[in-house]
Structure 1
Amino acid sequence: MTEMIDTSAIAAIQQAIHQQNQEAGWWDKPRNHGELLMLIVSEISEAMEGDRKGLMDDHLPHRPMIEVELADAAIRILDMAAGLNLDVAGAMAEKLAYNRTRADHQRENRAKARGKKY
């Protein structure tokens, strides 16, 4: 099976996001890892709230709030990864490849009793 994602494209987006945030001064001082992680969590919480209430976004009113908040979470993740010099794109590609080999990620196994369910 061919590689599922273009890691160079993700890495380029990661660098562009981080450069914009550096230029805005967000990285002038060392960032607290816990705070950065909780900012990601807050974006996910906002996505859930928007989905639960069926809201459109306040800043991009032509888009559903869930869509914009997931974008915010991805932006925060990629910015943090760049700031900490982490290869998230490479890890994503490897994790996707690994998941293809996992029994608990196979459709027939998830459908069984005690399969992965919400």
Structure 2
Amino acid sequence: MINELAKEIHQNNVKKGFYEDEKNIGEMLALIHSEVSEALEADRKGFYVPIENRIDWLNDLESDSEFKSDFTELVKDTFEDELADIMIRVMDLAAHKEINLEEHIKGKLRYNKMREYKHGKRY
């Protein structure tokens, strides 16, 4: 599932012109970091999707124009939106580098389960 979503994200980014020039990994990582900073700012400002407007119903809208309008009004630039941007950028990078992200996540989860409390650190 993760790899399929990463591939879809990457294909869309190629289609939208983000791969016309050779990609610089440092730049791609910096853009991930910028999304993390935007998530921090959204949290600091209290910009969250109101609980009654969670996105599941929004994704079911058939009209693209209605979806775009409602998304812009209710979701755009919220903490949740920025977390999604982080994941989109990470998954795009993984697909670009042909990394099997799903298996790497599974491996890392397994490894982390074997680590000590707080991985031996204070925090």
Per the normalisation by structure 2, the TM-score is 0.74
- What's the RMSD between the two structures over aligned residues? 2.0
Q: 4+ runs of 1 displaced by more than 6 Å?
A: none
Tell me if structure 2 keeps the 8 A contact 1:99–1:105: no
Q: How does 1:33-112 map to 2 (within 5 A)?
A: 33-56=25-48, 60-63=72-75, 65-105=78-118
Q: Per residue, is there more helix in 1 or in 2?
A: 2
Would you say how many aligned residue pairs link Structure 1 and Structure 2? 101
Letter in 1 for 2:109: L
- d(CA) in 2 for partners of 1:92 and 1:76? 16
**Secondary structure of 2:95 counterpart:** helix
Unaligned stretches of 5+ residues in structure 2: 50-70
Q: Residue in 2 aligned with 1:11?
A: 3
Q: Percent identity?
A: 37
Give me the whole-angstrom Cα distance separating, in 2, the residues matched to 1:22 and 1:40. Answer: 17
Aligned-partner residue type, residue 94 of structure 1: G
Match of residue 112 from structure 1: none
Deviation, structure 1 residue 60: 3.3
Cα contact 2:48–2:80 (8 A) shared by 1: no
Q: Distance in 2 between matches of 1:60 and 1:67?
A: 13
Supply the distance in 2 between the matched residues of 1:54 and 1:14 (Cα, whole angstroms).
Answer: 29
Distance 1:38 1:61 in 2: 28
> Out of 20, 24, 39, which is 1:32 matched to?
24
Instruction: Structure 1 unaligned segments of length 5 or more: list them.
Output: 1-8, 110-114
For residues 97 and 90 of structure 2, what CA distance do their matches in structure 1 show? 11
Query: 1:18–1:82: 8 Å Cα contact kept in structure 2?
Result: yes
Deviations 1:49-79 (A, max 9, x none): 000111258x633237111001001000100
